[in-house]
Structure 1
Amino acid sequence: MPDPEACWDAFARRDRAMDGRFVGAVLTTGIYCKPSCPARRPRRENMLFLPDPAAARAAGFRACLRCRPDEAGRDRLAVEAARALIAGAETPPTLDEVATHAGYAPHHFHRLFKRETGMTPAAYARALRAERLKAALGEEGSSVTQAIYEAGYNAPSRAYADAERHLGMTPSAWKDGGRDVEIRYALVPTSLGTALVAATEKGLCRISFDEDEADLRRRFPHAQIWPADARLAAMAKQVAALVDDPAAGADLPVDVNGTAFQQAIWAALRAIPPGETRSYAEIAAAIGKPGAVRAAGTACGDNGLAVLVPCHRVLRSDGGMGGYAYGLERKRALLAREKKG
């Protein structure tokens, strides 16, 4: 359960993603509601936050007839049951099979599952298989073909299509340290120090500080790594300008590998308006996983596109700076520049 102030903030925003995670009980009316309840909000001092409807009932409160908070808990359990079914299946189950297992009509459960997880049941199954493929490709002695079938794919063609989407490379390239992938790089002077900017033919794959060609080669030991061409030089110039004015944003192509969870976190980071910040808890809640605060912090740390994917906009819940891969002084500087803008 989030801390009371995070709960109050979720109620104030009527955050549907927090439904089923806790309830708010109103001391003056004796009613408990889910966070997204459309009713008028009571004063903060009249709110008590409890972990679930059972705790609210035990404390003498009754369920709101408008938002029906007890159903949110049932919805959450149904989605968890569906996720377990998908994770345990050798081949992805159909929507009808998932919905029947959860006890809902297919069309209704499709919307419910997407609301809770941020993706449809079919997309969730594909993401799970892609993550299994990534893990299998990393096993010592495992061939690409063996990894594909161990991950639950019936045919290599589907595996390659998913891998292009989720890993940023084909399975063979990922397995072999980027073999046959061409990466161009530039070391660019910026007002916050020298930045490494690197890209494949698809888009930027690395923006970092305090790294050089040797670091890039360690990340992709079998890739073909070359100095910048005109295309990358133009992108590197935009990255340098972004360091000076991070609020300006930049429409640059990217090619990064990451799990479905990481990609969701990075998308949530890019959705933070310039000049604003979010807590790690808010980022986790934004992708429908409010209990994954620590994992959200790890995904922020795994961000390979500094400044472009603005992980510097994430703070601790108490307002503290938290961490930053390239030093807190750079993080403070980027935040200060955005506020001035």
Structure 2
Amino acid sequence: MTDLSPAYHYQVIARALGVIDDEGPALTLEDLAAKMRMSPAHFQRVFSQWVGVSPKRYQQYLTLGHARRLLSERHTVLAAAHETGLSGGGRLHDLFLTWEAMSPGDYARGGEGLEIRWGWFESPFGPALVMATEKGICGMGFADETGAEAAMEDLVGRWPKAAFVEDPVAIRPMVDAAFGGSPAALHLIGAPFQIKVWEALLSIPTGHVTTYADIAGAIGHPTAHRAVGTAVGRNPISFLIPCHRALRRDGGLGGYHWGLPRKRAMLAWEAARTGM
């Protein structure tokens, strides 16, 4: 693996995130580089190749203050977004040629009769476990926090009666499209309420955020904040269905199924690419 690979970049970023978490965002470039056991120039080059901005700017994107600025300046109220067509401007929303949901009856049967192919892939956020049916990507998880075995158990356990086949070659075109910005397809496999929540998440444009309360209102259940939070946490297609864009009303990050460092990294990565 060369030092230009996305996985290498992410491992550097992940270690830097840990240092920033422990010591705060006021670290200098020299301090961070020394803790990464790199020269400042090499660290800045690797860092900037991954995110497109300087380490200092990226540190600003990782702070709670940035989340709160997003909420005040680029807060997507989903009902208004639907009415004004704002959701059509989201890169991820436009990314998918189609998305299709499994019927409630099929979901209740635990995926019985469904063949799901899977494989491990490099991603901008560490090792990614991706699963797909013939209709599209149905699962994505990240192993840095949980480990590979736990990530596999997590996704397999969602559809216990499906047939799982390791076949990364077959699904690589979908994965390359999804991470590379080309049209792809999703296959949403969940209960009806969950799918409503995930559909609402898909309408949040890149560089915007929303709150659990807004999602509840957008799907017609304005008092179901807690149930919405649970459905967001059960999103099986992490990053592509952007549950990382759901924040608490006070601007706090809330939870994230694959670890808060992933959520911060995803929001910062998107911020760097949208020039915020």
SS in 2 for 1:340: helix
SS in 2 for 1:253: strand
- State which of 233, 241, 245 in structure 1 corresponds to 2:172: 233
Corresponding residue number in structure 1 for 2:122: 189
Corresponding residue number in structure 1 for 2:210: 278
Give the structure-1-normalised TM-score: 0.45
Q: Report the CA distance shift for 1:324/1:216 in structure 2 as closer, same or farther (over 3 A).
A: closer
Asked whether 1:205 is paired with 2:138, we answer yes
- State which of 319, 325, 332 in structure 1 corresponds to 2:251: 319
Shift of 1:170: 5.9
- Note the alpha carbon deviations across 1:143-197, whole angstroms, 9 max, x for none: xxxxxxxxxxxxxxxxxxxxxx7645864x852x433321110111223221110
- Partners of 2:216 and 2:224 lie apart in 1 by 6
Of structures 1 and 2, the one scoring higher in RCO (CA 8 A, sep 6+) is 2
Shift of 1:16: 11
Is the contact made by 1:262 and 1:299 (CA closer than 8 Å) also made in structure 2?
yes
- Note the alpha carbon deviations across 1:6-60, whole angstroms, 9 max, x for none: xxx9xxx9x9979xxxxxxxxxxxxxxxxxxxxxxxxxxxxxxxxxxxxxxxxxx
Amino acid at match of 2:167: A
- Note the alpha carbon deviations across 1:200-254, whole angstroms, 9 max, x for none: 1122111111245454444444432212254411112234x26xxxxx5x53222
Amino acid at match of 1:321: L
- Partners of 1:16 and 1:225 lie apart in 2 by 36
Q: Report the CA distance shift for 1:293/1:167 in structure 2 as closer, same or farther (over 3 A).
A: same
Corresponding residue number in structure 1 for 2:260: 328
- Partners of 1:328 and 1:313 lie apart in 2 by 12
Is the contact made by 1:166 and 1:259 (CA closer than 8 Å) also made in structure 2?
no
Give the structure-2-normalised TM-score: 0.55
- Partners of 1:16 and 1:271 lie apart in 2 by 8
- Partners of 2:266 and 2:229 lie apart in 1 by 19
Aligned-pair identity (%): 40
Is the contact made by 1:167 and 1:174 (CA closer than 8 Å) also made in structure 2?
no
The CA RMSD over aligned residues, in Å, is 3.1
Shift of 1:260: 2.6
Structure 2 gaps of 5+ residues are: 1-70, 84-99
In the TM superposition, 1:153-168 aligns within 5 A as: 167-168=102-103
SS in 2 for 1:255: strand
Q: How many residues align?
A: 175
Q: Report the CA distance shift for 1:201/1:168 in structure 2 as closer, same or farther (over 3 A).
A: farther
- Partners of 2:160 and 2:124 lie apart in 1 by 30
Is the contact made by 2:138 and 2:237 (CA closer than 8 Å) also made in structure 1?
yes
SS in 1 for 2:184: coil
